[in-house]
């Protein structure tokens, strides 16, 4: 349920209303805008008498929310959320670029890439330590050692680090060391993992599942938020369709759709979406035009010999070229980079 307050409602009246809702066991999410305050209410709202709240001072109207996702809903939170990742804002006017190798291979490799992408304008460093692979015989990542190397790269470059979590047992390690915890496509509906991540305050990067709908994606975000962690960033990384020329099919239409439905930031991963490094540039630029709040791009010092996903990885020179084009494009769509 949503309660919309009249413009210039007295703060005392708003606090009194919130207190009344809390007394009934409701969870309240308050969003203050320039024109009015919106009060989002989650809980057994069927027990609430709407007419009684319409009579309270300052209440303009009361609305029921039909969508199953509540806290992620733009009706609850009309203004775009900006998520702070170790001092780097994701959302808002500025585009945020995350870059780095698909998997952490060595200290020299990772630190060299970190310096290169930072010089080109990347704001965060990505690198896989625990790698979910289709084949059990493929490289599975350096695991805890990989996380330690990411910490070293952060210390040398100053870039906050992003890496994917695979299991609940690693939450304590990630909460202590990682700046942005990524939930991969294969774990988008691992609800036990999502609920545990909702109990910490670290920002979560939630990738869309391989064949999941937009509503299912937002419901996964709701699992995290319902446990108390509002710091969720969504990542469109392509979905599985009948087409097999590309690794996945990048759903650019999901960006404006999610922006209409939700207040959460949305970034795009054109590397995993296409699986082909020569397609990354065009899809990255198209994502910016479609309204994405940022990009996640794979960069490797030697793509031909990468232990994971070399075909979709860019060299640092190719990444720098894309960043220059994105920097010129951003003002056209009223963004900054």
Number of neighbouring beta carbons within 10 Å of residue 160: 18
Tell me the sheet residues that pair with 117: none
Structural domains for the chain: 2-63 (3.30.70.1140), 83-333 (3.20.20.70)
Task: Give the integer Cα–Cα distance in Å for 16 and 32.
Answer: 16
Tell me the sheet residues that pair with 88: 85
Task: Give the integer Cα–Cα distance in Å for 171 and 176.
Answer: 9
- Helices of type H across 134-276: 144-157, 171-177, 191-197, 214-226, 254-261, 270-274
Token pair recorded at residue 328: 């010129």
Q: What is the pLDDT of residues 89-144, one digit of tens each?
A: 999 999 999 999 999 999 999 999 999 999 999 999 999 988 776 777 677 778 89
Number of neighbouring beta carbons within 10 Å of residue 169: 9
Token pair recorded at residue 129: 């330590």
pLDDT in tens, the chain (337 residues): 889 888 888 999 999 999 988 888 888 888 887 778 888 888 888 778 888 888 889 998 888 888 889 999 999 888 999 999 999 999 999 999 999 999 999 999 999 999 999 999 999 999 998 877 677 767 777 889 999 999 999 999 999 999 999 999 999 999 999 999 999 999 999 999 999 999 999 999 999 999 999 999 999 999 999 999 999 999 999 999 999 999 999 999 999 999 999 999 999 999 999 999 999 999 999 999 999 999 999 999 999 988 888 899 999 999 999 999 999 999 999 999 9
What dihedral angle (degrees, nearest 10) is formed by the CA atoms of 154, 156, 157, 159? 20
Which helix or strand (DSSP H or E) is residue 207 part of? strand 204-207
- Region of 43 (left: φ > 0; alpha: ψ -120 to 50; beta: rest) is left
Task: Give the integer Cα–Cα distance in Å for 337 and 329.
Answer: 9
Token pair recorded at residue 48: 């609430």
Give Cβ neighbours of residue 172 (< 8 Å, ≥ 6 apart). Answer: none
Sign, CA torsion 66/68/74/75 = positive
- For tokens 């990738």, what's the residue? 207
Q: What is the pLDDT of residues 251-293, one digit of tens each?
A: 999 999 999 999 999 999 999 999 999 999 999 999 999 999 9
Please name which of 143, 174, 144 lies closest in space to residue 161, comparing C-alpha atoms.
Answer: 174
Please name which of 175, 167, 166 lies closest in space to residue 199, comparing C-alpha atoms.
Answer: 175
């Amino acid at each position: 349920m949503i309660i919309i307050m009249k413009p210039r409602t007295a703060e005392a009246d708003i606090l009194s209303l919130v207190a009344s809702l809390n007394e009934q066991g409701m969870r309240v999410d308050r969003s203050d805008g320039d024109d009015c305050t919106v009060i989002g209410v989650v809980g057994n709202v069927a027990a609430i008498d709407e007419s009684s709240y319409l009579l309270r001072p300052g209440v303009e109207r009361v609305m029921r929310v039909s969508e199953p996702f509540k806290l992620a809903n733009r009706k609850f939170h009309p203004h775009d959320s900006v998520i702070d990742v170790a001092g780097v804002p994701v959302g808002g006017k500025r585009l945020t670029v995350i870059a780095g190798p698909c998997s952490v291979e060595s200290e020299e490799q990772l630190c060299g890439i970190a310096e290169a992408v930072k010089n080109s304008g990347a704001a965060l460093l990505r690198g896989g330590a625990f790698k979910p692979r289709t084949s059990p015989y493929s490289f599975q990542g350096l695991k805890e050692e990989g996380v330690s190397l990411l910490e070293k790269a952060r210390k040398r470059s100053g870039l906050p680090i992003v890496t994917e979590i695979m299991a609940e047992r690693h939450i304590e390690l990630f909460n202590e060391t990682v700046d942005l915890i990524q939930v991969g496509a294969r774990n988008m509906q691992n609800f036990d993992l999502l609920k545990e991540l909702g109990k910490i305050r670290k920002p979560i990067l939630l990738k869309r599942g391989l064949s999941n709908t937009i509503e299912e994606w937002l419901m996964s975000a709701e699992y995290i938020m319902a446990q108390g962690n509002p710091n969720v960033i969504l990542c469109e990384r392509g979905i599985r369709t009948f087409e097999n020329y590309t690794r996945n099919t990048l759903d650019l239409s999901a960006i404006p759709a999610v922006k209409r439905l939700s207040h959460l930031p949305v970034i795009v991963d054109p590397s995993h979406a296409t699986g082909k490094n020569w397609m990354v540039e065009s899809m990255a630029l198209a994502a910016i035009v479609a309204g994405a709040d940022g990009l996640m791009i794979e960069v490797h010092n030697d793509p031909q010999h990468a232990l994971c996903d070399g075909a979709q990885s860019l060299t640092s020179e190719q990444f720098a070229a894309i960043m220059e084009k994105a920097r010129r494009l951003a003002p056209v769509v009223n963004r900054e980079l």
